[in-house]
A and B are shown apart, each in its own frame.
Chain A
């Protein structure tokens, strides 16, 4: 089992969600996050005063999948989230030891 974590642009959330669901990968947890990568933020101006805004709003997606579909899921996310411009984000996967569904108590692959 894998936990895929993706940091994407907020405006790409719907595209990623629809792409995953259409390929049969259901279930995700979404949180609003802030951060920066190599772009190091942007500049805003208020009454002539410049502010460096280095923490930019992003969406953090977390998806549990079985190991055999992990690569496919990552590919779907990357394709759907890409705009080609700076700040498109990152996707990574980590191994998961155990998963349990709260309602039924099922565990392992069946709980995904």
Chain B
């Protein structure tokens, strides 16, 4: 076998994708920030921004090795050691095969996934979580949940010669997840549910109006998420090639169909198609196509997206049925959309579009793939939900998770950050204080 040498085209695409995926987290901050009330917009956005800070630092210290240390023989976690990225500058990526891109490009690209996953959880706990408690939560959660789960799903093992050793638990079992339906979306969705339960409902839930304070912010955020998601999905090909192009095209058409699906539900059920609906539908489609984007034909991506839009538009009502305050519908969009996306491969998976993929039910592959997908999806869901419950409980009993009731009513922005999002008056409220 010829030795793999660095390919500049592939490397350029992965580097560009890394920047695209980073932009998703500020995009998420806007998407979530617009959806809360004006008195908590800054806290909502800061939860995403501080996650970029915390996870990036943890990643270079030990996170990368814990998730992707390929010399690990464990299927549950990578290597427990310092990431040691400074001594890997001239190494190529080895992940179930040697890729012609620098290890550091892969490390940076995967970092962005480790950042956005905990940031997604913040939508479930809006308006009421102590900022320091959130920072501690992110640190513990990525260590005990994201880094190991990323290893199960995304670590394909160490390839030496023709043998591959140390693949992750789910990767080794043939669970297909191209860009993170399980490790990112089901994981974050299940954790969001656990945290919403631990924290309890907001003061005034189902009594006061908690409608979004700025839908234009929500739409800007959804636009940035959509844009960045091309890096998330097509970048996961780790090369500038046909698989990346398929993933990119499928991402576009599934998202478009999902936005239409959500609007359709609103028009029929509520009478008006809404801007929040088109933004939410787009995100639901992005979530659902994530695991499937490089394993299905574009027509199937349209169907997957359309169903995701309809399904998630209906699923966001679940919290009222079960009485948990998942404030910005992390469960309804990410958990439900992620589950659908993972399972959809069991129907639409096609080895004709990607020879690494398997055939689903509609391509004569029988129910084998669907069974694997269901196993992977529910395994991650269960692990994330239980471990997050324990982390949340432990933080609540020690430093406390929730702000005081008065602070929540008057606004978490001022209480936690001594700032307010908007100054909408010309008349002075005071002056300089030395």
Q: Give A contacts to B, CB under 8 Å.
A: 44-49, 51-53
* A44 engages B211 (CB within 8 Å): yes
Q: Is the CB of A47 within 8 A of B209?
A: no
Contact in complex: A48, B211 (CB < 8 Å): no
Task: Say whether, besides A51-B209, A51-B211, A53-B209, A45 and B313 are in contact (CB < 8 Å).
Answer: no
B317, A46: Cβ atoms closer than 8 Å: no
How far apart sit A49 and B209, CA to CA, in the bound complex (Å)?
Answer: 10
List 11 A-B pairs, Cβ < 8 Å: A45-B266, A45-B271, A46-B274, A46-B276, A47-B276, A47-B280, A48-B266, A48-B316, A48-B317, A49-B317, A51-B211
Residue of A nearest to B332 (CB): A47
B interface, CB within 8 angstroms of A: 209, 211-212, 266, 269-272, 274, 276-277, 280, 313, 316-317, 320, 329, 332
Q: Which residues of the other chain, B, contact A52 by a CB distance below 8 angstroms?
A: 209
Report the minimum CB–CB distance from B404 to chain A (whole Å).
26
Are A45 and B209 in contact, with the CB atoms below 8 A? no
In this complex, the member of B211, B276, B329 whose beta carbon has the largest number of chain A beta carbons within 10 angstroms is: B211
Please tell me if the beta carbons of A48 and B313 are within 8 angstroms of each other in the complex: yes
Q: Are A48 and B270 in touch, CB under 8 angstroms?
A: yes
| 20 further interface pairs, Cβ-Cβ under 8 Å (given A44-B211, A47-B276) | A45-B266, A45-B270, A45-B271, A45-B272, A45-B274, A46-B212, A47-B277, A47-B280, A47-B313, A47-B316, A47-B332, A48-B266, A48-B269, A48-B270, A48-B313, A48-B316, A49-B317, A49-B320, A52-B209, A53-B209
- Cα distance A51–B212 in the bound complex, in angstroms: 11
A39 and B280 alpha carbons, distance in the complex (Å)? 32
Question: What's the nearest-Cβ distance from chain B to residue A41, in Å?
Answer: 11
Shortest Cβ distance from residue A104 to the other chain B in the assembled complex, whole angstroms = 25
Min CB distance A95 to B, Å, is: 30
- Chain A residue contacts of B316, Cβ below 8 A: 47-48
Name the CB-closest residue of B to A54: B209
